[in-house]
Chain A
Amino acid sequence: MGNFIQLILEPLKEVYLEFIKFLPKLLAMLIVVLIGIFAARVVRAVLMKFMKAIKFDSWSDRMGLTGVMRKGDLWAKPSVALGSIVYWVLIIVAVMAGLSALRLQAIDNLVSSFVLYLPRALSAVVILVFGYIVAGFIARAVLIAGVNKGYHYAKIVAEAIRLLLIVLILAMAMEQLQVAPSIVLAAFSIIFGGIVLTLSIAFGVGAIETVKKIIEKETAAKKEETKDEIEHI
């Protein structure tokens, strides 16, 4: 009977000893996570104050960032949304750092791949945000220039340019994220190339008469110039 009890207790004892060995790591993880949560909250609060000071929301409204959020049915203030993104990224980082304190091989691998991927994700976000702003700026500049020149299709041209730039930006972001890079590259080449080719053909076909007139005019002008070379005595 004593042996039988020993048989039951032995594994439990081993588990207990393992747990005692593991406990400091667990505590370390919890402390890291708690510090991370605290730090994330502080960073979010500081970031919110900073964004309020620089009137980030108002800037986003004018730059069209708020519009993009609304299109996606997100109705938080841009500063709150950015604050939340930063907060959750920091929380994830803290959890990852905490998990690495457990010194488990599988988790270590996960953490290192996450850490390696993080800069890529951040660059993709930066590319998306600034790309969208630049696309909006260029499209608006084209629209204003087109309207000032009196082009009837200024808005369509501006929107087409915006669309092209957004396709380019999306491809860049996807490439950065390494999401099926070969497929993204091929798809981008096909879509972008297709759009450019379509525009070229459309412009070429539509401009046949105009180009013909320009060439005729040029030729006529050259003939006039040749005539002028003959001088009467």
Chain B
Amino acid sequence: MADFYQTGIITTLHKLGRSSLERLEVELQEHSRMRPVTLVLPALYSEFEGQAMPKIVEELAKVKYLQAIVLILGQASDKEFRKARDFMAPIPYEVKIIHNDGKRIREIYETIRRNGLDPGKDGKGRSAWLAYGYVIAGGKSYAIALHDCDILTYNREMLARLCYPVVNSNLDYVFCKGFYSRVTNKMHGRVTRLLVTPLVRSIQNLIGAHEFLTFLDSFRYPLAGEFCMTTDMARVNRIPWDWGLEVGSLAEVYRNYSPRRVCQVDIAETYEHKHQALSAEDPEKGLMKMTVDICKSLFRTLASDGVVFSDGFFKSLSVTYLRRAEDTITKYEADAAINGLTFDRHEEAKAVDSFTKALSLGAQAFLEDPLSMPLIPNWNRVTSAIPGILDMLKKAVDEDNR
């Protein structure tokens, strides 16, 4: 069971006592009449062949408060698209599948591109963004929830807890991010534990208190991919298409909304999904690519908020970070020891070394090109450039699902 400590400047909703899923779902059914919610699922076809997806579909089939599911399918042929549709058939309410590699959706991206807007490269960020566009085009949903399709420990309580703070009009949060412990026989979540938190605190150490850093540090799991937000937010927020997706999205939430309307919720006792390889030698792959993108996203967000970065600053930051990350390893070693978890100190130290290298690469990329933000324009911007784009998107998806 978790403690009840409130972290930082956002609200933390803990998992306290015995929470009842039935009660939550009944309340959600009531509230969703006024505030309909759509679930967005970014998925690759390979995930339909994995272990997680059957369980996710089985659980989602029991959910009664969702208005619709919008699954955006990547890396799939036309035949695989049809298979995915059959796979989702047991769900008894509306399920729309966006065929990301289909000719109609490709033409949508092309239309956006030829009008001078860049929808970015293929990835989770762009997929989620397109799915939001479809939900906005439908004009029926008050809120959008999103989670990945590789969660091995999925149960529908996760979704209920994620949606509740936004859908419940008495609470009226505009954004709710999930958090959970990523523990099996050992601790996972290296990038959050050993990069993001020590880095954020190191920057705070160097530049002093900064509201965005405080905001970011308030999240227990800032890189969690599960969240729920209002559809209005999906319309105004820009989304990064690279691995800086989570940090960049939080930066947009911070920029457009008061932290008082932002919360995080404990959605699961344990959470298990696929793990990325560290790929220490190749900064274009695996966790290294992810960490470089996260660092760049963080620096660019802070720079856009007036923080001045220089070569000297980054040298100090590398040293400060390394020291702080090493201290963090010591803390987690103790945590693992008391809980009887396997803890490979050498592996953790190697990860920190790689992250320090990634930090330098991120800093170098930032200094070379501080303006290059991999942000997809928000839907307000896109519709002002191409007034009929949402209707086109809706038509494309509806035709694909016919």
Q: How far is the CB of A49 from chain B (nearest CB, A)?
A: 15
Contacts of B111 in A (CB 8 A): 57, 61, 66
C-alpha gap A62/B385 in the complex (Å): 7
C-alpha gap A102/B47 in the complex (Å): 63
A64 within 8 A of B: yes
A58 within 8 A of B: yes
Q: Is the CB of B114 within 8 A of A58?
A: yes
A71 within 8 A of B: yes
Interface string of B1-12 (1 = CB under 8 A from A): 000000000000
Interface string of A40-71 (1 = CB under 8 A from B): 00000000000000010110011010110011
Q: Report the nearest A residue to B391, measured CB to CB.
A: A67
| Chain A to chain B: the 4 pairs with minimum beta-carbon distance, closest first | A67-B388, A70-B392, A75-B107, A61-B386
C-alpha gap A55/B385 in the complex (Å): 14
C-alpha gap A37/B131 in the complex (Å): 44
Specify the main secondary structure of chain A where it touches its partner.
helix
Q: Is the CB of B387 within 8 A of A64?
A: yes
Cβ-defined partner of B388 (8 Å) among A57, A64, A75 = A64
B115 within 8 A of A: yes
List B residues 380-402 near A (Cβ within 8 Å): 385-389, 391-392, 395-396, 399
A73 within 8 A of B: yes
A77 within 8 A of B: yes
Contacts of A75 in B (CB 8 A): 103-104, 107, 396
* 7 pairs, CB–CB < 8 Å, chain A vs chain B: A61-B111, A61-B114, A67-B392, A70-B388, A70-B395, A75-B103, A75-B107
Cβ-defined partner of B110 (8 Å) among A67, A73, A77 = A77
Q: In the complex, given contacts A61-B115, A71-B391, A71-B395, what are 6 additional A-B residue pairs having Cβ atoms less than 8 angstroms apart?
A: A58-B116, A61-B111, A70-B388, A70-B391, A70-B392, A75-B104
Q: Is the CB of B396 within 8 A of A70?
A: yes
Contacts of B107 in A (CB 8 A): 75-77
Contacts of A55 in B (CB 8 A): 114
Contacts of A62 in B (CB 8 A): 115, 385-387
Q: How far is the CB of A58 from chain B (nearest CB, A)?
A: 5
Q: How far is the CB of A66 from chain B (nearest CB, A)?
A: 7
Contacts of B114 in A (CB 8 A): 55, 57-58, 61
Q: Is the CB of A58 within 8 A of B115?
A: yes
B111, B392, B395: residue with the most chain A Cβ atoms closer than 10 Å:
B111
Cβ-defined partner of A66 (8 Å) among B103, B104, B392 = B392
Q: How far is the CB of B108 from chain A (nearest CB, A)?
A: 9
Contacts of A76 in B (CB 8 A): 107
C-alpha gap A73/B396 in the complex (Å): 8
Q: How far is the CB of B364 from chain A (nearest CB, A)?
A: 36
C-alpha gap A77/B145 in the complex (Å): 34
Q: Report the nearest A residue to B116, measured CB to CB.
A: A58
C-alpha gap A173/B130 in the complex (Å): 38
C-alpha gap A86/B204 in the complex (Å): 64
A55, A57, A75, A76: residue with the most chain B Cβ atoms closer than 10 Å:
A75
A58, A61, A66: residue with the most chain B Cβ atoms closer than 10 Å:
A61
Given contacts A70-B395, A70-B396, A73-B399, contact A61 B103 (CB under 8 A): no
Contacts of A73 in B (CB 8 A): 395, 399
Q: Report the nearest B residue to A61, measured CB to CB.
A: B386
C-alpha gap A62/B386 in the complex (Å): 5
C-alpha gap A64/B390 in the complex (Å): 12
C-alpha gap A115/B114 in the complex (Å): 38
C-alpha gap A62/B388 in the complex (Å): 8
Q: How far is the CB of B379 from chain A (nearest CB, A)?
A: 15
Q: Report the nearest A residue to B395, measured CB to CB.
A: A70
Q: How far is the CB of B302 from chain A (nearest CB, A)?
A: 35
Q: Report the nearest A residue to B104, measured CB to CB.
A: A75
C-alpha gap A55/B114 in the complex (Å): 9
Contacts of B392 in A (CB 8 A): 66-67, 70
Contacts of A57 in B (CB 8 A): 111, 114
